[in-house]
Amino acid sequence: MESEVAKLKTARDAFVSQWGALGSQWGINRTMAQIHALLMTTNDPLTTDEVMDELEISRGNAHMNLKELVAWGLIRVVVKKGERREFFEAEKDVWQIFTIVARERKKREIEPALTILNRCAEETRGMQSQEGKAFHHQMRELEDFVGFASKMSDKVSSMKHGLALQLATKLFS
């Protein structure tokens, strides 16, 4: 019979692997997502060396991705008295993770898209050809929709978890 420690390791490995695969869906690379998953599922903060050993990655890869996760706000550096090494722990509150990812995706994806849509619409304003008018109209429609979706995302992510769930239940029931 498999021990509890072995079962936990198997389950954690499966989660870390799947979370890594999902990472590209929310704008981060596989290794960054795997590090996040590992730190989310450990009770104690880990060092860079422990992350490297657990995920079998290089020091440079671990260091670069830990630094980026700290910049996103998904993990934080923990100082332990008498230790020279840095330790890392993940944000574990699921709603907080969602709001951080939503904020970062907006900054990296939505805002640049809105900028391009606005610029394209402005550059084609006043065009007289049928194609130019259609392009301008399409850019404004897309800009309006992406702007609306961005504002809705901001509203939802700024809500308290329970209120957001109540709203979602009403909308999707």
Highest mean pLDDT among 9-13, 157-161, 168-172: 9-13
What pLDDT was estimated at residue 13?
93
Residues in the chain: 173
Residue 139, both tokens: 């850019």
Angle formed by the axes of helices 111-124 and 130-158, to 10°? 150
pLDDT > 90: percent of the chain: 65
* Amino acid making up residue 71: A
Q: What is the pLDDT of residue 1?
A: 56
Provide the pLDDT confidence category of residue 152 given band limits of 50, 70 and 90: confident
pTM of the model: 0.77
Burial of 113 by CB count in 10 Å (0-12 exposed, 13-18 middle, 19+ buried)? middle
Mind listing the pLDDT tens digit for each residue in 63-119? 999 999 999 999 999 999 999 999 999 999 988 888 888 888 888 889 999 999 999
Range name among 7-16, 18-27, 69-78, 121-130 with the lowest pLDDT average: 18-27
pLDDT higher than threshold 60 for residue 172: yes
pLDDT digits (tens, 9 = 90+) for 43-59: 999 999 999 999 999 99
d(CA 136, CA 108): 24
d(CA 45, CA 42): 7
Q: 27-65 burial, b for 16+ CB within 10 Å, e for fewer?
A: ebeebbbbbbbbbbebeebbbbebbbebbebeeebbeeb
Q: Interior CA angle at 14 toward 63 and 41, to 5°? A: 55
What DSSP letter does each residue of 65-130 carry, written as one string? HHHHHHHHTSEEEE--TT--S-EEEE---HHHHHHHHHHHHIIIIIHHHHHHHHHHHHHHTT--SH
Higher-pLDDT residue of 122 and 98 is 122
- Mean residue pLDDT of the chain comes to 90
The tokens describing 170, both together, are 């009403």
Q: What angle do CA 11, 21, 88 make, to 5 degrees?
A: 65
Q: How confident is the model at residue 168 (pLDDT cuts 50, 70, 90)?
A: low
* Residue percentage of the chain with pLDDT more than 70: 97
